[in-house]
Amino acid sequence: MATWLYTAAQVRELDRAATDALGISGYALMERAADSAWRLLRARWPQATRLVVLCGAGNNGGDGYLVARQAREAGLDVKIIALAAPIGSGDAAHARVDWETGGGVVLAAATDLPAADVYVDALFGTGLARPVDGAAARLIEQINAHARPVLALDVPSGLSADTGCVLGVATRATMTVTFVAHKRGLFTGAAMDHCGELILDTLGLPGTLYTMSGADAHLLDLREMMCWLPVRQREANKGMFGHVLAVGGDAGMGGAIRLAGEAALRVGAGLVSVATRAEHVMALNAARPELMARAVADASGIEPMLQSASVVAVGPGLGQGAWSCVLWQAALAAGKPTVLDADGLNLLARSPQSLPARTVLTPHPGEAARLLGGDTAAISSDRFAAARAIAKRQAAVVVLKGAGSLVANPEGDVAVCPWGNPGMASGGMGDVLTGVIAGLMAQGLDPWQAACLGVGLHAQAGDVAAASGEAGILASDLFMPLHKLRNALPPDD
């Protein structure tokens, strides 16, 4: 079953539906949220005796007042620092009155952050849409400076619930308990460094409620995606599993095209040919003889290879010189299902043109910025919008790489990858992903399926490779895990 991701506005609609259709008051939901947070806090940090709760003026702050009340009733030493009094007489104001009625004191935001065993961040919720500054920024900076655990309520303060970007400064939480539904921004970009352990509590809302408001995206589900792969018959032959042509490897970059070609083989492509510079052919034949490497000097040299290919992977180590442009143009003109990466994308940004009908683009943020005529800061500010914009503009499936990689199609569907690690920020990882996606397309998966499953297998293989430490992972370290994961075998056997 898919894990759906929502925008802040969609979550507010779910809250409204719970109140209007199910008769659950806003304050009752706030109490459920506080109960959930308190239970998680006690389970995770049972020895904690001192708690500092930071409350904002909105409903997120209301959650904080109620968590503080429960902690006080359990005998903990609890202090609250508030940015401001709750606005109006709503649920947050009610929660503050409950805290103060029991004798609780509220400290001003100018107060230096007291020592605590655990800090509870309830400054800003999903409604934050401006950079954090002033007293709020100082409090967040103080939280981050303390080497103590932090529990964030719903969203780490300063983080956009919709995009995952940091609005000025954001809390680095040890754990985030998010309520009602998963917010899409917590699964990509900078959010990956700020949420810590992420736990969802739907607050007892029935599953039927979620049909009232459509989700914006969903998480990849490897078990579901593996069902897309064809079952191999005993009478199978290599011609039944596609022929990938990997195009690239300009002078000094033969390793990139080798990584792409081998990755296609490791996920099950029947045949893989490599069109590259003459100086790389001997090394490729010696290192990986299963790759059918051929020296190609011009369009006439690649034409026979294109005719026999079922999928073309263009870009790893391709370069942007005259040789590169000729091969790139010939590959696109062939109209075959295509995976376009690296310099294949840079050439597209430089010389826009229509792409084959079944195409997957795999840009990192810099390449995405060039495709959209912007900069990487704009891409990072809303990765969802960027992925959708490229997919629509190019009429192709797009993989926007990075922490929490996104897969988008021209219709606006977006899938988010929950796997991967910082150790994968090393040379050649993107080349391997290109080969994985091309190899899956060669076996009959459509571009959306191949991109989603390819991203999932690639990221999980990276996590297996990082089991002994993230720093120092090589792109080629993914090959054995890829082989096992593609065959649904435990990768550590």
pLDDT at residue 318, rounded to an integer: 98
At residue 94's C-alpha, the angle toward residues 92 and 99, to 5°, is 95
Crossing angle of helices 429-442 and 254-266, in 10° steps, is: 40
Q: Which residues contact 35 (CB under 8 A, 6 or more apart)?
A: 70
User: What is the separation of C-alpha 80 from the centre of its chain, rounded to a whole number of angstroms?
Assistant: 34
Q: Which of 390, 397, 388, 393 is nearest to 447 (CA)?
A: 397
Amino acid letter, 171: T
CA distance 485 to 440: 13
Same domain, residue pair 170 and 227: no
Tokens found for residue 446 = 């459509």
For residue 347, the tally of other CB atoms under 10 A from its CB is 23
Tokens found for residue 476 = 């080629």
Same domain, residue pair 397 and 443: yes
Same domain, residue pair 212 and 228: no
Same domain, residue pair 142 and 46: yes
pLDDT at residue 493, rounded to an integer: 53
Same domain, residue pair 231 and 332: yes
pLDDT at residue 158, rounded to an integer: 97
Q: Exposure of 134 by Cβ count < 10 A (0-12 exposed, 13-18 middle, 19+ buried)?
A: exposed
Domain of residue 417, CATH code: 3.40.1190.20
Is 493 inside a domain boundary? no
pLDDT at residue 230, rounded to an integer: 87
Amino acid letter, 461: A
Is 61 inside a domain boundary? yes
Is 140 inside a domain boundary? yes
CA distance 392 to 399: 13
Q: Say if residues 95 and 56 touch (Cβ distance below 8 Å).
A: no
Is 399 inside a domain boundary? yes
Same domain, residue pair 211 and 239: no
Q: CA-CA-CA-CA torsion for 189, 194, 196, 201, nearest 10 degrees?
A: -80
Is 120 inside a domain boundary? yes
Q: Which of 437, 235, 232 is nearest to 344 (CA)?
A: 437
Amino acid letter, 437: I
At residue 96's C-alpha, the angle toward residues 122 and 139, to 5°, is 35
Q: Say if residues 311 and 339 touch (Cβ distance below 8 Å).
A: yes
pLDDT at residue 21, rounded to an integer: 78
Tokens found for residue 349 = 């940004």
- Would the CA dihedral through 33, 36, 39, 41 be positive or negative? negative
Is 492 inside a domain boundary? no
Which of 199, 216, 233 is the endpoint of a domain?
216
What domain range is 320 assigned to?
Answer: 222-486
Tokens found for residue 80 = 């609250």
CA distance 305 to 295: 11
Is 246 inside a domain boundary? yes
Same domain, residue pair 199 and 238: no
Same domain, residue pair 61 and 140: yes
Is 491 inside a domain boundary? no
Same domain, residue pair 229 and 212: no
What total of structural domains would you count in the chain? 2
Which of 159, 183, 216 is the endpoint of a domain?
216
Domain of residue 30, CATH code: 3.40.50.10260
Edge-to-edge strand list for the sheet holding 397-400: 182-183, 4-6, 217-219, 414-416, 406-408, 397-400, 359-361, 338-340, 311-314, 243-247, 271-276, 292-295
- Would the CA dihedral through 465, 466, 467, 471 be positive or negative? positive
CA distance 439 to 449: 12
Q: Which residues contact 47 (CB under 8 A, 6 or more apart)?
A: 117
Same domain, residue pair 229 and 185: no
pLDDT at residue 17, rounded to an integer: 87
Same domain, residue pair 431 and 308: yes
CA distance 200 to 186: 11
pLDDT averaged per 10 residues in sequence order, the chain, 493 residues: 90 89 89 97 97 96 97 96 89 93 87 92 94 95 94 98 97 98 96 97 88 83 93 89 97 96 97 97 94 96 97 98 97 98 97 97 98 96 97 98 97 97 96 98 98 98 96 96 91 64
Q: Say if residues 189 and 403 touch (Cβ distance below 8 Å).
A: yes
Which of 169, 185, 216 is the endpoint of a domain?
216
Same domain, residue pair 194 and 265: no
pLDDT at residue 212, rounded to an integer: 58
